[in-house]
């Protein structure tokens, strides 16, 4: 059963699977592809923004209480009211609660929520999720430790390529830049299947140069795209 929010149809999934199969024909390496809608919910970041808005509101009221109390007089229709410290505190608390709730609710709109997440946090969480997926789906699951993961997280617009021990010891991580560039070129035009297939092709070429196939080579990991 496929994720209903997936940007791929069955033809796109088949294209990626076929690209993996073809790339593995000339190498003992094993390529795993994973596509996910997002790598994290970022609830803590949304909470931080809401708390920041509330704190800012409290600070502003504490600095200029007379201004806000005078506005409250106009709204309530009261004249020359005797405002106490308790009134000022109640006003600040109410404004803080309203600001917190408003900012939290605004972030229920996912495009805004993800736009407010700092890029470095996205980088770190996509990497952590990709690494976790690699450890489950590819790391040390091949005889020669020649598994490699191509991981794409759609909401964050980020991708990761993580290689198992034998590959990492021979291939500099910078080499995968060509595969990433090929994938991003297609993704910018919303061609997800073409993008992942292009990355698979280039990763396969690197693996074939360092880990050519042999007569005893068997397919140890699934070729199909994994969607999580």
- Three-class secondary structure assignment of 174-212: HHHHHHHHHHHHHHCCCCHHHHHHHHHHHHHHHHHHHCE
Query: What is the span of the domain harbouring residue 176?
Result: 10-41+118-227
For residues 131 and 35, membership in a common domain is answered with yes
Going across the sheet that includes 147-153, the strands are 158-163, 147-153, 30-36, 226-227
Listed in sequence order, the DSSP H helices in 30-157 are: 43-63, 65-76, 85-106, 110-115, 119-137
For residue 1, being part of any structural domain is answered with no
From 94, 115, 136, give the residue that closes a domain.
Answer: 115
Mean pLDDT of 176-199: 93
Question: What is the arithmetic mean of pLDDT over 47-63?
Answer: 86
Q: Are residues 79 and 94 in the same domain?
A: yes
User: Looking at 115, 143, 177, which one is the last position of a domain?
Assistant: 115
Inside any domain, residue 165:
yes
Task: Establish if 56 belongs to a structural domain.
Answer: yes
Angle between helices 85-106 and 65-76 (to 10 degrees): 90
Average pLDDT in the 21-41 region? 92
Angstrom distance (rounded) from CA 27 to CA 213? 4
**Total-model pTM:** 0.81
pLDDT for the residue 1: 43
First-to-last CA distance in the chain?
11
Q: Are residues 132 and 198 in the same domain?
A: yes
The mean pLDDT value for 89-109 works out to 87
Residue 3 in domain: no
Instruction: Determine the longest span between alpha carbons in the chain, in angstroms.
Output: 94
């Amino acid at each position: 059963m496929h994720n209903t929010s997936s940007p791929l149809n069955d033809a796109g999934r088949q294209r990626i699977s076929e690209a993996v199969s073809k790339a593995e024909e000339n190498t003992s390496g094993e390529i795993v592809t994973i596509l996910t809608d997002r790598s994290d919910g970022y609830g803590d970041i949304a909470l931080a923004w809401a708390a920041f808005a509330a704190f800012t509101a409290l600070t502003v009221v504490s600095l200029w209480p007379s201004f806000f109390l005078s506005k409250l007089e106009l709204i309530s229709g009261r004249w020359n009211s005797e405002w106490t410290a308790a009134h000022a505190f109640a006003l600040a608390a109410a404004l803080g609660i309203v600001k917190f709730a408003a900012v939290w609710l605004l972030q229920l709109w996912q495009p805004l929520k993800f736009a407010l997440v700092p890029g470095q946090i996205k980088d770190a969480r996509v990497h952590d999720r990709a690494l976790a997926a690699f450890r489950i789906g590819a790391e040390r699951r091949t005889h020669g430790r020649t598994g490699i993961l191509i991981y794409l997280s759609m909401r964050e617009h980020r991708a990761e390529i993580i290689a198992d021990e034998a590959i990492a010891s021979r291939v500099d991580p910078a080499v995968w830049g060509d595969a990433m560039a090929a994938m991003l070129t297609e993704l910018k035009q919303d061609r997800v299947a073409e993008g992942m297939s292009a990355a698979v092709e280039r990763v396969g070429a690197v693996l074939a140069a360092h880990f050519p196939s042999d007569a005893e080579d068997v397919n140890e990991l699934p070729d199909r795209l994994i969607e999580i």
